[in-house]
A = this chain, B = another copy of it.
Amino acid sequence: MELGARKLQILQAIVDDYIISAEPVGSRTIAKKYGIGISSATIRNEMADLEEMGYLEQPHTSAGRIPSDKGYRLYVDRLMKTRGLSISEANYIKDLYDKKTRQIEQVIFQTSKILSDITDYTAVILGPQLNQVLVKHIQLVPIGNHCALLVIVTNAGIIKDAIVDIPEGVNGDYLHRISNMLNDLFRDQNLGGITLEPMLKMQEGMIQNREFFNSLVDAFTESIGVLDTREVYLGGTTNIFKFPEYHDIIKAKEFLDLLEQKDLLYDLLARNDGKGVSVTIGEENRHQELRDYSVVTATYSVGGRTLGTLGIIGPTRMEYSKAISVMDFMGKTLSSYLTQLFYKE
């Protein structure tokens, strides 16, 4: 069957209407509100065709139609009117970034808040990709009678720390020397490529303070491990309550449980290839748990290198046009903010 211009027009009207109303759309509504100059009977015929072709669905016999995932896909790819951000929206975002936070974590956290505020969906952000990150400094800082903090600083502005036990007879100078050795071993190394071997070799050479070294190796391993785990930041987790289709307690709980599965979210976000905004609709999602939601992602980068991913999750009945504009804008804004932070001109 042909997918003529009129059919497209009708599909567009249905999706537009359903996105706003969350109610099945009937032929009369289309005829009245979106006057295309044809009668509701004709529209009914076209709608039956569109359903047969898989673009529409009918919740029950005597209800209007709702778009199928395939319908949304067509809408996103060909029908949707792309709208840029309004000036006020763009200004709202820029104003918030003007607070000049200097802590990466804060910046990302704040971004998730902005995203969820503007879109009304739930924001999910994947923190900086750490296996492309270099160790810049390692130091043991004594903080109490018998313990020190192992501090590892990377060029992504991420720090991790762990507590190291210090036995009797180890003084500050000694810690300083060890710190220097660690620096010599690991500075400017890629985090992903770091192995424990040089450290174990160093440990062998040390006959005294074996206990201390064990503790140090543990702390080091743990820190590197944690650095390798990318953080997932969430914003607007309760936004889902704004949509009538999730007023059902079971569905709401399902969604909130979904957000607790960090590895799933990670997987979801890590899939963006860094080439612009990506939209995944309902069944298109790999994960069964996500088959009722749509996801829009974009990436952010520093100095041209992709570092992480922004995403929003909402019902398949999503305001794709707005979502895509916002994601595009936010990805670019965050990138330029971070770039500026790191390479101040």
Interface residues in chain A, defined as those with a beta carbon under 8 Å from any beta carbon in chain B: 100-104, 106, 136-137, 139, 141-147, 149, 151, 153-157, 159-166, 218-219, 222-223, 226, 237-238, 241, 247-249, 252-253, 256-257, 260, 341-345
Contacts and interface: CB of A to CB of B under 8 A. Distances in A.
A142 B155 CA distance: 8
Count this chain's copies in the assembly.
2
Nearest to A226: B103
Contacts of A222: 101-103
Given A101-B222, A151-B151, A159 B157 contact: no
Q: Which 6 A-B pairs have the closest CB atoms?
A: A102-B162, A165-B344, A143-B155, A137-B141, A102-B163, A141-B153
A156 to B, nearest CB: 8
A102 B143 contact: no
Nearest to A253: B241
Nearest to A248: B249
A143 B154 contact: yes
A257 B236 CA distance: 10
**Residue of A149, A157, A223, A241 with highest tally of chain B CB at under 10 A:** A149
Nearest to A222: B102
Nearest to A104: B163
A342 B256 CA distance: 37
Nearest to A100: B218
Nearest to A99: B222
B141 A149 contact: no
Nearest to A138: B141
Contacts of A345: 146
B153 A143 contact: yes
A142 B146 CA distance: 29
A164 B260 CA distance: 34
10 contacts: A103-B223, A104-B163, A106-B226, A139-B139, A144-B155, A146-B343, A147-B343, A157-B163, A238-B256, A238-B260
